[in-house]
Amino acid sequence: MIQPVPSRRDTIADDLRDRIVTGRLKSGERLPSEANLASQYRVSTATLRNALAVLQAEGLVEKTHGKGNFVRRPLHRITYVGGRRTPEAHSTDLAPLSVTIHTTRVRARGHLAALLKMPTGSPLTEILCLGYEDERPHSLAHICVPCDLVPAAVLREPLPYEAVVTRLTVISVRLPTPVEASTLRISSTLAVLAITRQMADTAGRLVEAALLVLPGDRADAVFTTHYVIDERPTKT
């Protein structure tokens, strides 16, 4: 049987991957320039970039605009269990997580109005939370809340309602939108974990609708399925 000949792209990706896995290229190390690498492997810049794209999709290499390509450091992994996120145990090898918060006024429309069960055009406050690990985007959350529940100042503390319960959590895996890929600095071929969450207070009022987006290389979701066993005797 004739084995297919690996493409130059795959051969370059295999070599760089081996250098990363074996530690010859260290975590956080900047790779040679694309022009240098193309010359080293005797290929066009386009072929070299295709090889780097393979490693970027695998989460081994990260491209920073204006700085170059870097061996990606170990990432915090976040696990969603029952609608709550749980960061993995602290490691000195991992950079601390931080978040930037921006708020803006929007109007309830379409899917958002349906989630909050509000008339179309109702005023909302949208809270955009972009999580960072060191200087790298780590997670993205769009949270929409009725305006009367949000203070005028930019939020730095939990939202001003208590005893909230999760009414709906829908989890899906999909490719990122162009805006999500750009914001999170990830490949458009890297799947993301998309979580739509609906929250209500104990009186039943819907107080939050949120869309959380986490790249698949740093997020897990745990599902629990409850089975009911029918122990009634069978007829013979």
Least confident of 53-62, 93-102, 204-213: 93-102
Average confidence score pLDDT of the chain? 80
Confidence of residue 159 (pLDDT cuts 50, 70, 90): very low
Q: Is residue 56 part of a domain?
A: yes
Distance (Å, rounded) from C-alpha 204 to C-alpha 98? 32
Indicate if 137 and 66 belong to the same structural domain. Answer: no
Distance (Å, rounded) from C-alpha 86 to C-alpha 90? 11
Report residue 93: phi and psi, to 5°: -80, -10
Q: Is residue 236 part of a domain?
A: no
The mean per-residue pLDDT over the stretch 62-66 comes to 82
Identify which has the larger pLDDT, 220 or 71: 71
Confidence of residue 64 (pLDDT cuts 50, 70, 90): confident
Residue found by looking up tokens 């260290």 in the block: 26
Report residue 117: phi and psi, to 5°: 50, 50
Q: Is residue 235 part of a domain?
A: no
Are 133 and 164 in contact by the 8 Å Cβ rule? The answer is no
Other beta carbons within 10 Å of 35? 10
Q: What does the pLDDT read at residue 86?
A: 54
Count of domains for the chain:
2
95 pLDDT higher than 70: no
Range of the domain at 32: 8-71
